[in-house]
Chain A
């Protein structure tokens, strides 16, 4: 059976490029999802070289699990009890697909993923003041994602950006690296190609094929950029600038002022001017003459980079890893031709599909969400040597913004309007909006492998013992718990309501029995329900998406 099955799949894989060239219109997400699952089955579970069997596959997750997962993954929030009930009662076969589409059409989708990318970019800042660009980055990118601007156009905007960092969010990558040529180069390669190229800044890459010259040739696309403070008495900001003027060599050039050409430092003589580098794209060898204008350099790089196959691979691998919990390549920003992908043919299908779709980000998310791989139950990553990769979804710790939204939804709380000056306040550590304070405690770099993300004591304390959350959980003040207590006389139903509200699912029989026994034992119903809500907020399940 299996060899035949795989042969069919290999045929399908081989057939894809031909069909794409003949027919540029992209596949329907459901269609590609089926091909992906079949390809994965062949590569990983069907006697392929990674071994395993269909028996190792996790079963399809329940509707409630799926819905909470899709909400958190797509819009960064948890569904209301009404959404959970309506979804579980819906008997139509395509309800998961419809739910995913509806979520992708919601403006919260753009905001959620803009926050994800904000963290990808700003967690690698080498300059705390780069946080001043956070709000513009979040707003501008959210808009583009909601408008479904193709990913290659978004990348081009980031690579060619100039302007005030508080007005133009796509300046953020350059701002985060202070406009430094080499750092901006390394981050551009990391974010858009998924390649950690900066080892080659000082020496040939130790594991990959990249030579030191190739890094500095890439850096030669960025010598003419810089970052400087906006000269204004009333406005505190920075400007990403580019200059093609004839330059005086700056007295103490420390790497973040526009220079006519990029010089590769002489390692034996750091004081020497170094070697002038010609702009050359390391993956294809495409090059520009020295003396090219800044916009010519950055436009050319944007063009060549976004046309390259690794541009699509990096994006689909990242989104797959975020949604399924396990990437084809890990870490998601350390990929490349010298790395071994799990299920390379499946990855290729996905990347080719993404390119054929016109770099359509909503399309790729819809496609991945339609796969069995996404819709399976979760299993931990550390099951031991016999574990079959990608045979299950993986519990993911919520990012700070997801957790914050989940708390607001679960507790029926509202967020405060951010006020002027708070972006600044947050990075000097004196306040900032509640969301920013929360992010300072719960945030993490989303490019890091998720099993390397540890929880901290301040995080535990914030959920267990912060006056803000304690206040939202008071039953004796007008609010969510007080209304539920008044409206629902039955302990069973009240427990179920709390589970739906906090964890987006019904309690199990065992949980229901334990919760009701607890309420009875405590005697004070209001206090006991406060305790129950507290326990649910502090449960691991609340902080994860399963």
Chain B
């Protein structure tokens, strides 16, 4: 199994085509039955070329620490567990969200809120892993993270990396895993600074001169057993050089946006991250994760979540509105989630603790039917009362929305096939 760079392009292209052909046969029968049922994402397991040409992308808005469902998408104003948080009306009659999300409330017609997410993992590290991979961590299998799988399925995104993580590295959020480092995310500490080592340090003509010199001096190693290694290195250097000199790098400069557009997203790091996510997706990046930290509100939950919502509500709502206005929302799946929810009981410190049993996730775009709530918890918020959705169900639905076959198998180092998602069912209501 040679996964070195030179072969990458070939393998992924070949793999794409082979898969396309095989799946085409497999699907043509199924398609007849399914025709007309799905609008945009009817073909599962399409090739990278097809996926790319469809321009699908995904933006994950990650709330690190476990956002309280009661103070966001699943308020319980009539119950003691709801605390002081009030509910407000949304743009969709009959659906209410917490008062902390006035801007997202106005985008409710684009949002599908799942109030019946359920999992067993209440440990931050393991749950962060689970909600990024769809699997629990194992020493024996390096699962690729969601963004890496999406990037791998869609193939290269021009000169920009196809998977970008904004807001620094998140522990346990994973990377390319068994797909290799080239599927690792490009990590931006902040949306206000360009990615590390991408600002050219010497003038373009001198850089070009250096590259020529480098090419001219690699012959000896190439002749002594390093031919493939040298060829791979030359391609890599060229790709890196192309990237930093690419006009597309302006995606990382928010000051290219009109002041009015920047203002609409509001102030703050998360807002800058959302705007950059839109700029990146516009230029062909397939997966962007923007993280907000501090949702682990064991104390003083109400004030903390109010402040955190103040940082993410307007940018998230504006991201959806902006994508919609640019005609990109239909092809861009936006996911809002954290690793779990928070306890219904309010602890003596005014906080809520970890609660994976019943929590909320919100989705928009990418063919998801907005304006709906899926599932429900009981009045006390202690149990899922209707339509439980597991992490596998969610991941299956996300891949499905993106047109990726959730049963696609990656192969671990010892030849063990690892499906993108193990088990679960697509949450059909999301798309109906």
A residues in contact (CB < 8 Å) with B: 58, 124-129, 176-177, 183, 186-187, 190, 196, 198-199, 252, 254, 331, 334, 377-380, 382, 392, 394-395, 397, 427-430, 444-445, 448-449, 451-462, 464-467, 470, 508, 510-511, 514-515, 518, 522, 527, 531-532, 534-536, 538-541, 543-544, 546
Contacts of A510 in B (CB 8 A): 219-220
Task: Please report the C-alpha to C-alpha distance between residue A534 and residue B229 in the assembled complex, in whole angstroms.
Answer: 18
For A128, the chain B residues whose CB sits under 8 A away are 125, 171-172
- Indicate which residue in B138, B181, B218 contacts A183 across the interface (CB closer than 8 Å): B138
Task: Tell me the minimal C-beta distance from A531 to chain B in angstroms.
Answer: 5
Within 193-240 of B, Cβ neighbours of A (below 8 Å) are at 196-202, 206, 209-210, 213-214, 216-222, 224-230, 232-234, 236-237, 239-240
- How extensive is the interface on chain B, given as a class? 35 or more
With A129-B125, A460-B236, A460-B237 already in contact, the answer to whether A465 and B416 are too (CB < 8 A) is no
Q: Which residue of B lies closest to A180 (CB)?
A: B139
Q: A-B contact count, CB below 8 Å?
A: 200
Pick from A196, A334, A456, A458: contact of B196, CB below 8 A.
Answer: A458
Residues of B within 8 A of A (CB): 1-5, 8, 122-123, 125-126, 137-140, 142, 161, 168-172, 180-182, 184, 186-187, 189, 196-202, 206, 209-210, 213-214, 216-222, 224-230, 232-234, 236-237, 239-241, 243-244, 413-414, 416
A contact residues around B227 at 8 Å (CB): 380
Whole-angstrom distance from the CB of A398 to the nearest CB of chain B? 12
Q: A176-B139, A541-B220 are in contact. List 8 more A-B contacts (CB 8 A).
A: A124-B139, A127-B126, A187-B139, A331-B413, A395-B221, A429-B170, A454-B3, A454-B8
Residues on the B chain within 8 Å of A129, using CB: 125, 171
Tell me, in angstroms, the Cα distance from A511 to B224 when the chains sit together.
14
CA distance in complex: A502, B243 (Å): 27
With a CB–CB cut-off of 8 A, which chain B residues contact A190? 139-140
Residues B139 and A382 in contact, CB atoms below 8 Å apart: no
Q: Are B414 and A334 in contact (CB under 8 A)?
A: yes
Closest B residue to A199 by beta carbon equals: B416
Contact of A457 among B138, B161, B416 (CB under 8 A): B161
Assuming the A-B contacts A460-B237, A543-B233, are A186 and B139 also in contact, with contact meaning beta carbons closer than 8 angstroms in the complex?
Answer: yes
CB within 8 A of A515: which of B137, B184, B217?
B217
Residue of B nearest to A522 (CB): B209
Interchain CB contact under 8 A, A198 and B139 = yes
B139, B171, B182 pick with most chain A CB within 10 angstroms = B139
- Pick from A451, A540, A546: contact of B233, CB below 8 A: A540
Asked if B226 contacts A544 (CB within 8 A), the reply is yes
Q: Which of A331, A427, A464, A544 interacts with B221 by CB under 8 Å?
A: A544
Cross-chain contact B139 with A456 (CB below 8 angstroms): no
Q: Which residue in A127, A334, A465 is a CB contact (below 8 Å) of B137?
A: A127
CA distance A514 to B181 in the complex (A): 34
Instruction: Using A427-B171, A511-B220, A544-B226 as known contacts, say yes or no to A531 and B210 having CB atoms under 8 A apart.
Output: yes
- In the complex, what residues of A have CB within 8 A of residue B186's CB? 457-458
> What 4 A-B pairs are tightest by C-beta distance, nearest first?
A429-B169, A540-B233, A460-B240, A126-B137
Kindly provide the distance from the CB of B248 to the nearest chain A CB, expressed in whole angstroms. Answer: 14
Across the interface, B210 reaches (CB within 8 A) one of A126, A380, A534, A541, namely A534
Residues on B with C-beta less than 8 A from A176 are 139
Chain B residues closer than 8 Å to A427, beta-carbon distance: 171
B244 and A461 contacting across the interface, CB-CB below 8 Å: yes
- A455 in contact with B200 (CB, 8 Å): no
Q: How far is the CA of A454 from the CA of B1 in the complex (A)?
A: 12
Chain A residue numbers with a CB within 8 Å of B8 are 454
A384 to B206, CA, bound (A): 39
Kindly report which residue of chain B lies nearest to residue A427, judged by CB atoms: B171
Q: Name the A residues within 8 Å of B413 (CB-CB).
A: 331, 334, 448-449, 452
Known: A126-B139, A429-B171, A465-B201. A532 touches B2 (CB 8 A): no
- Once A126-B138, A451-B4, A456-B181 are accepted as A-B contacts, the answer to whether A465 and B171 lie under 8 Å apart by CB is no
> Which residue of chain A is the closest to B197 with respect to CB atoms?
A461
Complex Cα–Cα for A541 and B225 (A): 11
The reply to whether B243 and A457 form a contact with Cβ atoms under 8 Å apart is yes
Q: In the complex, are the beta carbons of A454 and B137 less than 8 A apart?
A: no
